[in-house]
Amino acid sequence: MTFKKKIVTCMASAMAMAVLLAGCGNSNNEQTATSEPQVTEAAEDKAEETAAPTTETAAEDEIQNKDASTMSLKEAYKDLFDIGVAVNSWQLADKKVLARITKDYSTFTCENEMKPDYLLDHNASMEAKDGMPVLTTEKLDEILTMAEDAGLKMRGHTLVWHSQTPEWLFREGYDDGKDYVDKDTMLKRMESYIKKVITYCQEKHPGVVYAWDVVNECASDNKGLRTDSLWYKVIGEEYIEKAFEYARKYADKDVKLFINDYGMTSPERRKTYTALVKKIWDQGNIDGIGMQSHHDRENFDVAQIETSIYAFSAIADGIEIQLTELDMHYNDNSEAAMKEQAENYKKLFDLLVNVDTKGHANITNVTFWGLDDEHTWLTGFKKETSYPLLYDKDGNAKPSYFAIIEAAEAAKAAQ
């Protein structure tokens, strides 16, 4: 029996709570909640109602004994939600690597190459007669063309971010030696940049980009909004709402707009994003929340993930929840450690499947932040070898791969 996407059940709008999740490819690591969030009785009842079912050992053995080459994540989850992966353009250009990507994933995110640092042309911007920023589109066009040819949908990542955005963008004449521009000028530059990126993708390669991370990592690591961002310093906190206003203005009606951040399971971040997203939702300018989901062995807590999913789902009927940068740091690839990692991935996907199929949350995509353990940002970030993904450094499926397939198979068997 196939699954049909169910409309999300609104849970008590009084669930305004705090926030958490993990950093964008080159940013911070997943944070651990420092205090126990307050949850309403209704939320607790819902959590109990959707507790993941226990899978029979026979089903586990059946999955583990199968050949991964005959299996596909995107096929296993096609009636549930899309499965994506973060890659770089060279991986799309390599036919063997591309075959691995298209086998398991229906969507992808550029790990770095759609960030402002890569798309802005400094010299051309300085010479622009209208004073607006200018794009360099050669690499962008190459990526969009490869995605189109491969039948892959792409998540646009990211339009507005404090990191990997050149400081000269905020300076008079785009000159690093000059003062910052005023608020009105920066708003015009922001709108121009967002318009150019979105319209280029839509006009040159219509239908390829299915969603945008409009604003990335705008919350503080402590409380409230991030105030060290130049977007915040030059424009003020309204830069977030303005970015979504401009993105909605130029994006095709079927393109989804997201806010994205790490640490989305901490009580403070949950609270910050619940309030912020509700405001932007009421303005009609946002479709969902991206929970980056950079976890590690020590802080993985599926109960906190569940609490955040319920809190965000309670913002409005139909709001989308996506896990946008999923990985799970382990510095040990022993058999016991990889079995434990698989069990944790299984718990997570059991949760996602259950809340989605029972209509308690609208899960629409889960994207893994890397194709295999050989190509993970975590090894550099952690300064130790990391084994966080579903394939090992040689491209062999790990126990976590089979555990995630098992979660989908178990859900089908329960129908």
> Residue 103 is part of a domain; what is its CATH number?
3.20.20.80
pLDDT band at 53, cuts 50/70/90? very low
Express each pLDDT in 264-322 by its tens digit: 999 999 999 999 999 999 999 999 999 999 999 999 999 999 999 999 999 999 999 99
pLDDT of residue 221: 93
The answer on pLDDT for 209 being more than 90 is: yes
Q: 3-state SS string over the chain?
A: CCCCCCCCCCCCCCCCCCCCECCCCCCCCCCCCCCCCCCCHHHHHHHHHCCCCCCCHHHHHHHHCCCHHHCCHHHHCCCCCEEEEEECHHHHHCHHHHHHHHHHCCEEEECCCCCHHHHECHHHHHHCCCCCCCECCHHHHHHHHHHHHHCCEEEEEEEEECCCCCHHHHEHHHCCCCCECCHHHHHHHHHHHHHHHHHHHHHHCCCCEEEEEEEECCECCCCCECCCCHHHHHHCCCHHHHHHHHHHHHCCCCCEEEEEECECCCHHHHHHHHHHHHHHHHCCCCCEEEECCEEECCCCCHHHHHHHHHHHHCCCCCCEEEEEEEEEECCCCCHHHHHHHHHHHHHHHHHHHHHHHCCCCEEEEEEECCCCCCCCHHHHHHCCCCCCCCECCCCCECHHHHHHHHHHHHHHHHC
Q: Is residue 224 part of a domain?
A: yes
Q: Is residue 129 part of a domain?
A: yes
pLDDT of residue 352: 98
pLDDT (mean) for 232-250? 98
pLDDT (mean) for 167-183? 98
Q: Is residue 32 part of a domain?
A: no
pLDDT of residue 61: 54
Which residue, chain included where needed, has tokens 């909640």?
A: 33
d(CA 45, CA 15): 13
Residues annotated as catalytic (active site), given as ranges: 217, 325
Overall number of domains in the chain? 1
Amino acid, res. 73 = L
Planar angle of CA 56, 61, 65, nearest 5 degrees: 155
Range of the domain at 63: 41-414
d(CA 36, CA 40): 13
* Closest residue by Cα to residue 373 from 353, 349, 407, 399: 399
pLDDT (mean) for 180-185? 98
Q: Is residue 14 part of a domain?
A: no
pLDDT (mean) for 57-80? 78
Q: Is residue 1 part of a domain?
A: no
pLDDT of residue 126: 98
pLDDT of residue 28: 39
What predicted TM-score, i.e. pTM, was given to this entire model?
0.86
Express each pLDDT in 334-386 by its tens digit: 999 999 999 999 999 999 999 999 999 999 999 999 999 999 999 999 999 99
Rounded to whole angstroms, the maximal C-alpha distance in the chain is: 69
